[in-house]
Chain A
Amino acid sequence: MKDLLRRNTALNEGVEKLLNLQSKIECDASTKYLAMAAWLDRNGYVETAEYMYKQSEEEREHFLKVFKYITEMGGIAITPDVSKVQQEFESFRDVFEIALQNEITVTNAVNKVIAKCRLENDYATEEFMMWYVKEQREEEKNARRALELFDLIDEDSACGKFELDKQIAKIGV
């Protein structure tokens, strides 16, 4: 009797479930950044708005990368539902506090996928996820740098907000 299961999919069910969760987290991150970009744009922070639009695009690419990987490996990729997104933020700084928290959540999710891969001896997916490990290191560093800039530049000084808007947009360039 042929091993139909293995011939059709190289993904373990548990790993597949976590990868689908990862794709949802990345997709949610993209919409969250989009909402942040819109808020920043609305409030005159045009440079950081552009930075956030780019972040949103990047997260969407991350989402598609996992999504396509699941299908490539013979798994069942589930299109994520669009979750409700926070549209309003307390302050300029608040946007970046939330952004950092989001990045930490994504990193934790990536780590969980890798831990599961090791448990299931799925070295192909582990190798695939290593790209995300590197990416998250960069994303977290950028999010931290943005908050650091808030400590360095007095937001309430004459040109504080204007300067912050310019400097944050330069992160990672």
Chain B
Amino acid sequence: MAVNNNFKNDILFESKNGYSYQCDKTNSIIINFSGITSKYKVQDFLIFQRKVNSVDILDMLYDLSDKCDFKLIETTQKKFSRNLTICEIVQLRELLNGTKFALVLNSMLNEVLSDVAVSYLD
């Protein structure tokens, strides 16, 4: 999915179905999934990611009833609230996990780089 040029530098993750970036001015993470944009504080994003990861996909696959074709995924303050198919849940999972990975990687790099800065002072 095409990302707005203004956010190219802060992009965290991009997939076929969406992208995410961080806004340093508001200290938030913006998720765009299938055209729906929502903005989260870090903690809220982590809760969202864990919630999507906790969906039992196998259970949905093996349950043949109609109600299991979709699952309502809601985040805090209903910033995101949609009935998603199994396929969409997997795609959203990919986007959120990729975003989380980028956040962790950025954090690790910051830690390592600050170590380098400290060693220069010695």
Contacts and interface: CB of A to CB of B under 8 A. Distances in A.
Contacts, number: 39
Contacts of B43: 8-9, 74, 76
Nearest to B42: A8
A9 B42 contact: yes
B27 A5 contact: no
B9 A7 contact: no
B55 interface: no
A76 B47 contact: yes
Interface residues of B, number: 18
B46 A4 contact: no
A5 B10 CA distance: 14
B68 interface: no
Contacts of B41: 8
Contacts of A9: 42-43
Contact of B22 (A4, A6, A74): A4
Contacts of A8: 27, 41-43
A9 B41 CA distance: 11
B110 A3 contact: yes
Nearest to A2: B24
B103 interface: yes
B9 A4 contact: no
B97 to A, nearest CB: 13
Contacts of A119: none
A161 to B, nearest CB: 49
A29 B19 CA distance: 44
Contact of B107 (A6, A74, A76): A6
Residue among A2, A3, A5, A8 with most chain B CB within 10 A: A5
A170 to B, nearest CB: 46
A7 B24 CA distance: 11
Interface of B: 9-10, 22, 24, 27, 29, 41-43, 46-47, 50, 103-104, 106-107, 110-111
Pick the 6 closest A-B CB pairs, nearest first. A8-B42, A3-B110, A5-B107, A5-B103, A2-B24, A6-B107
9 contacts: A1-B22, A2-B22, A3-B111, A4-B27, A4-B42, A6-B110, A8-B41, A76-B43, A76-B47
